[in-house]
A and B are shown apart, each in its own frame.
Chain A
């Protein structure tokens, strides 16, 4: 069913810009669609996984006899059984040749490096029988010491993988002086120590669980000529490539389908051990097989996100003009280098300088292995961490200088007349207007009034204090220019592909390589093509997610679908028009040069004669009377590789109330004014913004994956991993300023991650602002009431561990302080 609305009076003439309800919503919301776990194939078998309860152990023996004898069991397979057939989890972004990465087998053979790692696969006629039998598999482990803490791991005293010899996976550095994009950071810091201001802070990015709605599921059918794999994945095309590359199956013998997929947030940007294990078992048995994870398995064993310690040094002049920023990151990769996990922290390299003009800049990142679930992309991937660091620092600097934090930002940001602007990190921003977004946000927020209320509450010593948090962010998305990816040692390109099929009945199929998992591609692409080809919205079908239907693609992540994927769609549509013109001219008995295309109609200049696009499509299909030499189709393909990234930006203002008696925090208001260029569908944008905001706010306030000393995930269910619901959030105020992008046809920018990137520092800045006069300058995330209350009690920050101040603490002997010399660090030695 297609839902259409009354055209609003202020709605645009075309489809682009209209708040269309999403055509995919009915089937997605009611669940009357094909999710992977709904798929039932004749004779299909079911898998259950036996997982390691230990964070670090050698497998000494596995007894599968009892499980094999259990009712309905077809087979039990250990890593040794599958060894040569099970493929390997790929590390697709090795950063540099020196990177150390342990082999990551889907089913462990001798050694497990984190709790939840699969050690055996049970196959039975029903899922219940498989689960029952999994409990009967008897595994003997020799427990090994586990290293869980990032600072401990750096010391290399306990090794995540003893065979590797170190816990440091890689070191990566960007230096503005070395690459010629800015000055020398050490000189800037030295000067500021003499006659300026130096702000030194250490911030913690806690570990997060992506917590997509649909648990992951894989169905494999080995009974046809092609092996067919259905999976709840964001990346069917990349998965197909990697199955072929690691399992020895010809790519041409593989069909991968991502049917409707219930969310991902980066959590399904992965090839999973479970996918490989299901394929290996299905091939071994020659029978269709299904594996669907439980929520507990998902929280434990689907990859985690973030997990960094950021040591930051900001140099400024006395008046608040920033002269330099030095970033030293420790990034926890968990037990393995995941598909893009090794590179995600490095995405922050171009973002710590954000919207600002710094003289000098240096970014150092050390990636470290620990005996915890592996870490990879999570909504924002690298940019939220960077945005958090710089936006927290800018508030700290404003306090030090003694000026309003918005004024401090204005003193440092790129002004609207300076675009395009090449930053100190070497990235060229195409467009933006930070002044306009900030002015609009201040107005919607009632900034001055809230500052006045804050003053009154402070003066009256109100038990409930008010704080205002600011986040003026930008980000780089629209992944990605293939040449840039190549220069970063990434294992694939960043292009996107589209095809347009003009059907004889006047309908249109749009095939996109961007594999949607809840974003609304079907609606947005239909709007774009409707305008481009003059075809009614309802007559356009968008197809995606099946490598047989959409054979070329790079999938959906990094806010790339609209700015890269839809650009390919537009270019394919333009090719359709060009291919149709000679046929239209022939039909109209006119010269091609006299044909002009407008609103779905090919007309002859200066006359009222014309034919519609569907008429031309039919003519090309019957092929009865085409001009000589013209190919009998007007279908077209296009592949688009972007020249640069997309740079949305915005100003977010957050007011938080802090109950100083309990430490409880309450959001009072949140205003987000985002500049995401031209908007295709305001309703979809609003949804992306609201969802993104909640995810970022959740990092600030609620979420955190916590392990105990044994390496057991304590937050193993939604009882302890506290996801918010709508009952915990407020109505956000969102608005836009528009600086069209100059790098794509429609002038669009990415929006999928913006809210998540911007909101976390806005919330924490607001909480710190509420209690700064009580002697607090930091609270570790998530800012639980207990942490807030204890910070107030101490008049000083409280760290995650409780015994260590979060900032500043660059005292002698503290970890993460070594001179980041790459040659020394890849060896893992710190001092």
Chain B
């Protein structure tokens, strides 16, 4: 389908992009890979007057290491993240989750920043960002930046801490070197959005779980971190029985959607099974 007419700007610096957003206000929409935005435009569910394309801003690209953090530019594509040894070594659960995103074409266009700010609760990068305790760097007018913890980033359905006129510029991921990782994604067909997904990363010591981080995809209006489960897992052996008990309450308090792929109660059931499987796989059991 043909989108409604819009103007297109492609700034080359973050500040120029923020200036463009300031100039056009509500009429502007950011293009950060476009794998969600373009379908929305083409189906005429939205008709912004101006598209601000972040694809030509070099400072938003790339993956680097700063001490005990990975620093990922917001416009880094899924494919670039998948190809990065630094990401698979230090943020394994992010690699595993991204591997399940849609299909190769989309992974070559879609970006981590675009996905995080779009904040679709069925998207696959929110849960690993929560599990890894990522920090999100947000730039605003006048060169000001602020950093928001992943736990505070997702506010509601399609709503994040990024305010009007701001841009997500970096994703800073504390290195989880040596942690086991698994992303358990439940879908009916491979290219589908997650019906439920579970991101688990685990540090093991002497056959037991020393630390665990668990993020949930599509179990509510935002990705969720299962902190009670994380705590319950500490000190447990990585056995089916021990993990089963620790994760049994993972769906408590969640409010997953009901749709053609399953009702809310079914998703809650799935979350318990998938969390057990994700944790055991992450623990190498």
Contacts and interface: CB of A to CB of B under 8 A. Distances in A.
Interface of A: 127-128, 131-132, 135, 294-296, 661-662, 664, 701-702, 704, 706, 714-715, 717, 719-720, 722-725, 727-728, 784-786, 789-790
A727 B190 contact: yes
Given A127-B2, A725-B190, A786 B103 contact: no
B1 A131 contact: yes
A786 B193 contact: no
A132 to B, nearest CB: 6
Interface stretch (B76-84, B229-237, B261-269): B261-269
A724 B262 contact: no
Contact of A725 (B4, B43, B103, B263): B103
Contacts of A706: 260
Contacts of B2: 127-128, 131
A785 B192 contact: no
A784 B262 contact: yes
Contacts of A664: 186
Contact of B5 (A132, A294, A701): A132
Contacts of B163: none
A725 B44 contact: no
Interface residues of B, number: 26
Contacts of A704: 260
B119 to A, nearest CB: 17
B270 A702 contact: no
Contact of A128 (B5, B103, B189, B192): B5
B191 interface: yes
B188 A662 contact: no
Nearest to B1: A294
A717 to B, nearest CB: 7
A731 to B, nearest CB: 16
Contacts of B260: 704, 706, 714-715, 720, 784
A705 to B, nearest CB: 11
Contacts of B161: none
Main secondary structure of the interface of A (DSSP, over half): loop
A725 B105 CA distance: 14
Nearest to B276: A661
Interface in B206-262: 260-262
A714 B266 CA distance: 20
B149 interface: no
A722 B1 contact: no
Contacts, number: 62
B262 A725 contact: no
B209 to A, nearest CB: 21
28 contacts: A127-B2, A128-B2, A131-B1, A132-B4, A132-B5, A294-B1, A294-B42, A296-B43, A662-B270, A664-B186, A701-B188, A702-B188, A702-B189, A717-B43, A720-B260, A722-B188, A722-B189, A722-B192, A725-B103, A725-B190, A728-B190, A784-B260, A784-B262, A785-B188, A785-B195, A785-B262, A789-B266, A789-B269
A702 B261 CA distance: 10
B189 A724 contact: yes
A295 B2 CA distance: 11
Nearest to B196: A662
Minimum-distance CB pairs A-B, first 4: A727-B190, A294-B1, A786-B262, A131-B2
B273 interface: yes
Nearest to A126: B2
A786 B266 CA distance: 7
Contacts of A790: 266
B266 A725 contact: no
A661 to B, nearest CB: 5
Nearest to A701: B188
A46 to B, nearest CB: 10
B241 to A, nearest CB: 14
A114 to B, nearest CB: 20
Contacts of A723: 189
Interface string B167-186: 00000000000000000001
A804 to B, nearest CB: 16
Nearest to B269: A789
B273 A661 contact: yes
A326 B123 CA distance: 49
Contacts of B44: 135
Contacts of B5: 128, 132
Contact of B188 (A132, A661, A784): A784
Contact of B263 (A128, A714, A786): A786
B116 to A, nearest CB: 20
Contacts of A786: 261-263, 266
A655 B85 CA distance: 39
